[in-house]
Amino acid sequence: MTGSQAAALNEEPDSALDFDAIVIGAGVSGLYQLYKLRELGLRVRVFETGTNVGGTWYWNRYPGARFDSESWTYGYSFSQELLEEWDWEEHFAGQPETERYLNHVADKFDLRRDIQFKSRVAAAHYREETRSWNVALEDGRTYNTRFLVTAIGVLSAATMPRIPGIETFGGQSCHTHYWPKERVSFAGKRVAVIGTGATGVQTITEVAKTVGHLTVFQRTPQWCAPLHNAKIGKEEMNRIRANYTEIFARCQETYGCFIHATDPRATHEVSLEEREAFWEKLYGEPGFGIWMGNFRDILVDRKANALISDFLARKIRQRVRDPAVAETLIPKNHGFGTRRVPLESGYFEVYNQPNVKLVDIKETPIERITATGVKTSEAEYEFDIIIYATGFDAITGAFDRIDIRGVDGESLKEKWQDGPQTFLGILVDGFPNMAMVMGPHAGLGNFPRAAEYSADWVTALIRFAHDRGVTRIEATEEGATAWTDHVLATSEGLLFTEVDSWMTGINRNVEGKQVRRIMRYSGGHPKFREHCEAVVADGYRALALA
């Protein structure tokens, strides 16, 4: 292509394209991104695999699925009218309520007219000649667009365990992420749950309420803490509503955009009595306070971490009657808070029920799934239902499932095989005109708070480009290297980096995900915003714009 041909293309490029922007995903971030891009007057299309909006809250309808974020910190903050009219029913809403909320948002802002459901994106290839992306759906339909925005979530690529014989099971079985819309009855049934992460803990607690007999297959126990959920009455909701400005302002100030802020004291600075009283208080309070509002050193100092872990271990021993079962439920290979802390509502007491059995599969590994149940090295169990609460190929998994190719056909999956490389977790060098809302190495945390910020940043960038006739936006290699180095540096000394979990990119069910990597930015959201805002203040000079 000659220079003048390129110039001609750049002068009148948009009309030849199907869309100005394609957004992948109609979850919390995709819905908001659509709303914002439409405000710019752009032609936007959202592609969504599901049959309705909601993302995480559309898919994860397993028994007990619920927020661990306070509901009133989780809703969108962008519309005063929405804040005025929506009443949260519970401090930590269950999946049905959240799904209703996101449907309400979609209806209120008439978002569905730009969302194409049952449309899984299989591939997205950048074309330099037209500075556009060709997006192909699984069913073969293709579209082109100037900008591609991924809003595909952090935990959306569910993974089944690699256990032989899964397909031979004759009863009902399901991964929690793909739970059916129809009600499943557990009454009188023999049920197995494999997996004890945040999802497994919620599922087990709910299933145990009605099950005939429940067997839990646990590979790694978790440091769970009480959720302390409660209903919200009308008056309390009005008080919350009157405080929204302060609530959102506080979320802006904290490390993870939650209302819980780290206590400035170090563990050894207080007396034993004071420490115990503080931890009792946190254990008795709702939400993530015990994880995010704890002493400042518990996630970096081994001694401090051992003390809080010991406090939690004592709680488990108090709550579980059989001492041997209690010991099996106490994590031994990682300290409190170094993996995502599941919040629970009576989880440990489940193991006091006579119809619940805990199987430690580190001791007696699962050998195979059979036609009638599960065979471990020690015994054969028969089940009517097997529930796989086995988690996700987290953070980069949803990207890996799409064949994303940038300049000269470079594959994103291959570029990231040794870990993500991004600029602010939003842009990738070599992948012009692609932006990620809540991509790897972006500021994470209380999801909508962080997602709103990222989508706003992306919107401002696209507006900037649009206003100036810029048709090509790319992170520079130096910028991406500097950000990646910064992300790695901020995680140094944090105890979680020494532990296998989805937060360190480990998924033993996925090829190539056996080595720990830095997948998240650990500098905290306020710092993340400082970095993002510096780029804007500098007129986006950190980017290559053309």
Residues 6+ apart with CB under 8 A from 400: 157, 393, 413, 416
- Tell me the angle at which helices 525-537 and 477-490 cross, rounded to the nearest 10 degrees: 160
Among residues 239, 288, 241, 243, which one has the least CA distance to residue 261?
A: 288
Tokens of 31: 């819905």
Place of tokens 């500021």: 443
Stretch of 107-115, 384-392, 434-442, 535-543 lying at the interface with ligand NA7 (CB under 6 A): 384-392
Nearer of residues 192 and 458 to ligand NA7, judged by Cβ: 192
Residues 6+ apart with CB under 8 A from 498: 338
Nearer of residues 77 and 446 to ligand NA7, judged by Cβ: 446
Whether the CB-CB separation of 385 and 391 falls below 8 Å is answered with: no
Neighbours of 233 (CB within 10 A): 11
- Which of 213, 340, 405, 513 binds ligand NA7 (CB under 6 A)? It is 340
Tokens of 118: 């049952």
Pairing of strands 190-194, 385-388: parallel
Nearer of residues 340 and 517 to ligand NA7, judged by Cβ: 340
Q: How far is the CB of 261 from ligand NA7 (least distance, A)?
A: 20
Q: How far is the CB of 197 from ligand NA7 (least distance, A)?
A: 2
Contacting ligand NA7 within 127-186 (CB under 6 A):
155, 161-163
Stretch of 246-254, 293-301, 386-394, 519-527 lying at the interface with ligand NA7 (CB under 6 A): 386-394
| DSSP, res 250 | H
Among residues 328, 327, 335, which one has the least CA distance to residue 360?
A: 328
- Hey, which bits of 119-230 come out as E strands? 121-127, 132-137, 142-150, 172-175, 190-194, 213-218, 225-226
- Taking the C-alpha atoms of residue 116 and residue 51, their distance in angstroms, rounded to an integer, is 9
Q: How far is the CB of 160 from ligand NA7 (least distance, A)?
A: 8
Q: How far is the CB of 495 from ligand NA7 (least distance, A)?
A: 16
Among residues 76, 87, 142, which one has the least CA distance to residue 109?
A: 76
Nearer of residues 199 and 267 to ligand NA7, judged by Cβ: 199
Q: How far is the CB of 211 from ligand NA7 (least distance, A)?
A: 19
Q: How far is the CB of 330 from ligand NA7 (least distance, A)?
A: 14
- Taking the C-alpha atoms of residue 429 and residue 482, their distance in angstroms, rounded to an integer, is 12
Nearer of residues 200 and 524 to ligand NA7, judged by Cβ: 200
- Which of 76, 502, 521, 528 binds ligand NA7 (CB under 6 A)? It is 502
Place of tokens 């100005």: 20
Q: Which amino acid is at 112?
A: R
- Taking the C-alpha atoms of residue 480 and residue 478, their distance in angstroms, rounded to an integer, is 5
Q: How far is the CB of 388 from ligand NA7 (least distance, A)?
A: 8
Nearer of residues 342 and 479 to ligand NA7, judged by Cβ: 342
Q: How far is the CB of 507 from ligand NA7 (least distance, A)?
A: 7
Q: How far is the CB of 365 from ligand NA7 (least distance, A)?
A: 8
Q: How far is the CB of 145 from ligand NA7 (least distance, A)?
A: 30
Whether the CB-CB separation of 66 and 202 falls below 8 Å is answered with: yes
Contacting ligand NA7 within 182-221 (CB under 6 A):
194-200, 219-220
CA–centroid distance for 451 within its chain? 11
Site size toward ligand NA7 (CB under 6 A) is: 21
Nearer of residues 173 and 220 to ligand NA7, judged by Cβ: 220
Site map for ligand NA7, 388-407, x if CB under 6 A? -xxxx---------------
Nearer of residues 146 and 513 to ligand NA7, judged by Cβ: 513
Nearer of residues 200 and 256 to ligand NA7, judged by Cβ: 200
Nearer of residues 23 and 389 to ligand NA7, judged by Cβ: 389
Nearer of residues 194 and 487 to ligand NA7, judged by Cβ: 194
Q: How far is the CB of 156 from ligand NA7 (least distance, A)?
A: 10
Nearer of residues 162 and 314 to ligand NA7, judged by Cβ: 162
DSSP helix/strand/coil, 63: coil
Place of tokens 């031994």: 332
- Which of 165, 509, 529, 531 binds ligand NA7 (CB under 6 A)? It is 509
Please, where are the H alpha helices in 265-422?
Answer: 272-283, 289-292, 302-319, 323-329, 347-350, 397-400, 412-415
**If binding is defined by CB under 6 A, does position 524 make contact with ligand NA7?**
no
Q: How far is the CB of 104 from ligand NA7 (least distance, A)?
A: 23
Among residues 218, 210, 188, which one has the least CA distance to residue 383?
A: 188
CA distances from 204 to 263, 317, 379 (A): 32, 19, 21
- Taking the C-alpha atoms of residue 39 and residue 36, their distance in angstroms, rounded to an integer, is 5
Nearer of residues 115 and 290 to ligand NA7, judged by Cβ: 290
Q: How far is the CB of 12 from ligand NA7 (least distance, A)?
A: 45
Among residues 48, 59, 76, which one has the least CA distance to residue 150?
A: 48
Nearer of residues 143 and 288 to ligand NA7, judged by Cβ: 288
Buried b (16+ CB within 10 A) or exposed e, 333-363: ebbbbbbbbbbbbebbebbeeeebebbbbee
Residue nearest to ligand NA7 (CB): 197
Binding region for ligand NA7 (CB under 6 A): 155, 161-163, 194-200, 219-220, 340, 361, 389-392, 502, 509
